[in-house]
Chains A and B, each alone.
Chain A
Amino acid sequence: MTTRVALPVLDGDENTQQVVTFIQKAQTGDPVALEALTRVLDRQPEKWRSFGDVAALAQSAQIQQATGDDQLARRGYERNVARLRAELTRSQDGPVELLLIERILTCWLQVGYADASYAQKAGTMSLEWSDYFLKRIDRAHRRLLTATKTLATVRKLAQPSVQINVGERQINLVKG
Chain B
Amino acid sequence: MGWERRERGGLYYYRNTWQGGRPVKTYVGLGRLADVAARRDAQERAQRVERTAADREERARLQVADALVDQLCRETDILAAAALTVAGYHQHDRGAWRRRR
Q: Which chain A residues have a beta carbon within 8 Å of chain B's beta carbons?
A: 16, 19-20, 22-23, 26-27, 29, 34, 37-38, 40-41, 51, 54-55, 57-58, 61-62, 64-65, 94, 96, 99-100, 102-103, 106-107, 110, 129, 132, 136, 139, 143, 146-147, 150, 153-154, 157-158
Contact yes or no, A157 B84, CB < 8 A: yes
Complex Cα–Cα for A93 and B66 (A): 27
Q: Are B84 and A154 within 8 A (Cβ)?
A: yes
Extra contacts, 12 of them, besides A16-B75, A58-B65 (Cβ < 8 A), are A16-B78, A26-B86, A41-B79, A54-B71, A54-B75, A58-B72, A61-B65, A96-B82, A100-B80, A102-B76, A106-B72, A154-B83
Q: List 7 A-B contacts (CB under 8 A).
A: A27-B90, A58-B69, A61-B65, A153-B80, A154-B83, A157-B97, A158-B87
Q: Is the CB of B69 within 8 A of A96?
A: no
B100: Cβ under 8 A from any A Cβ: yes
Let me know if A54 and B80 touch, CB within 8 A: no
Q: Is the CB of B72 within 8 A of A34?
A: no
Q: A16-B78, A62-B65, A153-B80 are in contact. Are A37 and B86 (CB under 8 A)?
A: yes
Q: Find the residue from B71, B83, B97, B100 having the highest chain A CB count within 10 A.
A: B83
Asked if B73 CB lies within 8 Å of chain A CBs, one says yes
- Inter-chain contacts of A110 with B (CB < 8 A): 65-66, 69
What CA separation (Å) do A40 and B85 show in the bound complex? 12
Tell me if A's interface is mostly helix, strand, loop or mixed: helix
CB distance from A67 to the nearest CB of B (A): 12
Q: Which residues of B contact A (CB under 8 A)?
A: 55, 59, 61-62, 64-66, 68-69, 71-87, 89-91, 97, 100
**8 closest pairs, A vs B, by CB?**
A58-B68, A61-B65, A158-B87, A27-B90, A96-B83, A158-B83, A103-B76, A26-B85
Report yes or no: A34 in contact with B85, Cβ–Cβ below 8 A.
yes
B68 and A57 form a contact (CB under 8 A)? yes
Residue from the list B79, B89, B91 in contact with A96, Cβ < 8 A: B79
Cα(A100)–Cα(B89), bound, Å: 18
Query: In the bound complex, how far is the Cα of B82 from the Cα of A34, in angstroms?
Result: 9
A129 to B62, CA, bound (A): 13
Q: Does the CB pair B69–A62 fall under 8 Å?
A: yes
Q: How far is the CA of A41 from the CA of B84 in the complex (A)?
A: 11
Given A54-B72, A147-B73, A153-B97, A23 contacting B80 (CB threshold 8 A) = no
Contact status of A51 and B76, CB under 8 A, knowing A58-B69, A107-B69, A110-B69: yes
Q: Tell me, in angstroms, the Cα distance from A2 to B101 when the chains sit together.
A: 24
The one of A61, A132, A157 in contact with B89, judged by C-beta atoms closer than 8 angstroms, is: A157
